[in-house]
Amino acid sequence: MSRHERLLYLAAHPLAYPFLRLVAHAGPVVRVPRLGVVVNDATLAHQVLRDTSAFRKTGPGSSGALWSPVVGSAALLNMEDADHKVMRRKLSGLFTAGYVDDLCDRVLVGPLAVLADRLASGRPVDLVDTTRICAGAVICALVGIDADEATCRRMFAHGEEITAMVRLSTKELSPTQVRTAKRVLGEITSPAAVTYESGDEKTVMGRMRELGLSKDEALGTAAALFLTGTETVATLVPRLIALLCDSGVQGRLADEPDLLDRCIEEALRVTTPSPAMLRSVAEPARIGRMKVRPGERVLIATHNCARAHGHDFDPDRVPPPELNRLWFGSGTHFCIGYPLAMAEIRALARTVTRFAPLRVVRRRYSTGVLIPTYRVLEVARA
Ligand code: HEM
């Protein structure tokens, strides 16, 4: 495993990470006190995620129980059955390839030009700051906030502040945490409400109104997009570039045009920006050989499932079919922002790697965060 990737995980979760890795060796499904039933195997993980009658995102210990007090009960990530299906259907036209490409072209053109200028001149660039600005700019554009760099950074920091309240064992937020998270989210949902009212179809809020979402549903969804779609992308890109530099693979990029896309897929596997998924057992069921009871919590250890298929970053590895992009989920809750995430990641990665070979000038790991991330990753032309 990349030494730096391991150190990133250890900095974020000094006790939980070694423990979670130990659990990986205990079998494909393991019952762990305080955590729940931990799934370490990709095939079983897909089975659990696809069985929405037995394993649900609502109920004790689920992500719904965690986030509903903050985002309301109709926010996609905490819905099931017909309500979820109807909402997904309404949103199916939201992140089309054309829309996400256009959005990224429009919103990222400024930050990417600054990035390219700096790299071209040989000066170092902190990719953490750059990707935060980009991810913040995209989310601001989605909800219709006209944002400068400082606003983008602030939005990003707000997201991080909320997700940092969650650890792998967190089952629900305390009343104080809920109040803080709601106050922080207000910075997104207040302007989002105005955009919804104005119905500007260039924004996702306006499009959600057009697609027939009520104001509450649209605001809940905006909060969900913010919580799930900012940090995931922003943490991945610096880690991807660090992996390219550390592994030496960047040296091959100029001669192999399809290599960057394979590197992105492999970096997603190795880093698993969303390292775990939660479900609540609703009816007696089995996960592999293990019987589970209603009310139990299931923790899909996505990171363990992905690492079982190789520790090192190797874009030449053919991903086994059972992995099937587990890092974006599976079944009805599969990441709705997948096309947008890939468009953002590609836009950033293509800009940076145009200046390969790069060298890492300085790096620092973040502590006290949910998603392992660099605090600083400065790169410059080698
Ligand atoms: C590298 C980037 C990303 C990764 C690794 C990622 C990963 C995931 C995963 C694993 C799930 C499923 C969770 C579960 O089933 O419990 C999910 C769902 C979701 N993601 Fe993403 N995501 C990313 C980017 C984004 C972006 C950019 C957005 C939108 C702005 C987004 C919005 C959502 C939403 C709203 C859901 C809930 C879908 C539902 O429950 O129907 N994600 N994501």
- Residue 201 alpha carbon to ligand 1 centre in Å: 23
Whether the CB of 233 sits within 6 Å of ligand 1: yes
- Residue 361 alpha carbon to ligand 1 centre in Å: 32
Q: Is the peptide bond before 357 cis (omega within 30 degrees of 0)?
A: yes
Q: What is the pLDDT of residues 305-314, one digit of tens each?
A: 999 999 999 9
- Residue 224 alpha carbon to ligand 1 centre in Å: 9
pLDDT for position 92: 83
Q: Which atom from ligand 1 is nearest to the alpha carbon of 332? A: 41
pLDDT at 163 over 90: no
Range with the poorest average pLDDT among 102-111, 200-209, 294-303: 200-209
Q: What is the pLDDT of residues 4-63, one digit of tens each?
A: 999 999 999 999 999 999 999 999 999 999 899 999 999 999 999 999 999 999 988 888
The domain made up of 3-381 has a fold known as Cytochrome p450 (1.10.630)
pLDDT at 1 over 70: no
Q: Which atom from ligand 1 is nearest to the alpha carbon of 84? A: 41
Q: Which atom from ligand 1 is nearest to the alpha carbon of 279? A: 16
The number of angstroms, rounded, from the C-alpha of 119 to the middle of its chain's C-alpha atoms is 27
Structure tokens at 54: 């037995």
Whether the CB of 301 sits within 6 Å of ligand 1: no
| Residue in the block written with tokens 């429009």 | 106
pLDDT at 202 over 80: no
Which residues are 247's β-sheet partners?
A: none
Q: How far is CA 336 from CA 11, 87, 225, 252, 341, in A?
A: 29, 11, 9, 32, 9
Whether the CB of 355 sits within 6 Å of ligand 1: no
- Residue whose CB lies within 8 A of the most ligand 1 atoms, among 56, 270, 335, for a mutation test: 335
Whether the CB of 329 sits within 6 Å of ligand 1: yes
Q: What is the pLDDT of residues 117-146, one digit of tens each?
A: 999 999 999 999 999 999 999 988 888 888
Boundaries of every domain in the chain: 3-381
Q: What is the pLDDT of residues 321-370, one digit of tens each?
A: 999 999 999 999 999 999 999 999 999 999 999 999 999 999 999 998 88
Give residue 166's pLDDT band: very low, low, confident or very high (50, 70, 90): confident
- Residue 82 alpha carbon to ligand 1 centre in Å: 20
Q: Among residues 346, 363, 338, which one has the least CA distance to residue 263?
A: 346
